Amino acid sequence: MSIFLQEATRELLHRYYKDFESDPDIFMDMEQFHPYQYDVERVDAYCEAKVFRSDRKVFMIMDDTAPVGELLLKNIDLEKGQCELSIHLQRDEVKNRGFGTQAEILALRYAFEVFKLNTVYAGSVQKNARSQHVLEKVGFVLMKEDDIFKYYKIEEMNFRKSSVTRFRRV
């Protein structure tokens, strides 16, 4: 099992969202949860509004030639040396297979080696234990929490010292 990150393109985003399923674990208020319905115009609008911005880097998590997830390094601030990480896997069949862990490690390497950042932040909805487990496994440390989110950070020097940096470069 090996995945890689590829810069998002309009075509890859459409391939990803055609098979996307909403995850109820990311909704604290289940009244806001609705099954995802693929919409060409909506994906195009997302692409224009979010993907081609200078303060973010959007990657597709690729399993062979198919996108199975989306990972963002967003709110990139080169002066402060920080950004935020956000990750979404496409559907239940690709979860619990290590893709999220591998993708986060690759993204952290990118943030620290390419952008030369010092700190990466991430958040997780309180009830999303799977996300919290992966964040902690790759070295993120819980900073604080509120009624809705848990807030994490990882610093470059701690990432370098962690055992996950021994994962094979993909």
Bridge partner residues of 7 (DSSP): 59
Share of the chain above pLDDT 90, in %: 61
Say yes or no to pLDDT of 49 above 90. Answer: no
Say yes or no to pLDDT of 167 above 70. Answer: no
The tokens of 123 are what? 């958040």
The pLDDT, as a whole number, for residue 168 is: 44
Residue 161 CB burial class (10 angstroms; 0-12, 13-18, ≥19): exposed
Per-residue pLDDT band at 153 (split at 50, 70, 90): very high
The tokens of 122 are what? 């991430």
CA-based R_g, the chain, Å? 16
Q: Report the predicted TM-score, pTM, of the whole model to 2 decimal places.
A: 0.87
The tokens of 62 are what? 């690729």
The domains of the chain are located at 3-166
Q: Which stretches within 37-165 are classed as H helix?
A: 40-46, 99-113, 129-137, 156-161
* 3-166 CATH fold: Aminopeptidase (3.40.630)
Q: Say if CB 99 and CB 124 are below 8 A apart.
A: no
- Angle (CA) 84-103-72 rounded to 5° is 30
Say yes or no to pLDDT of 135 above 90. Answer: yes
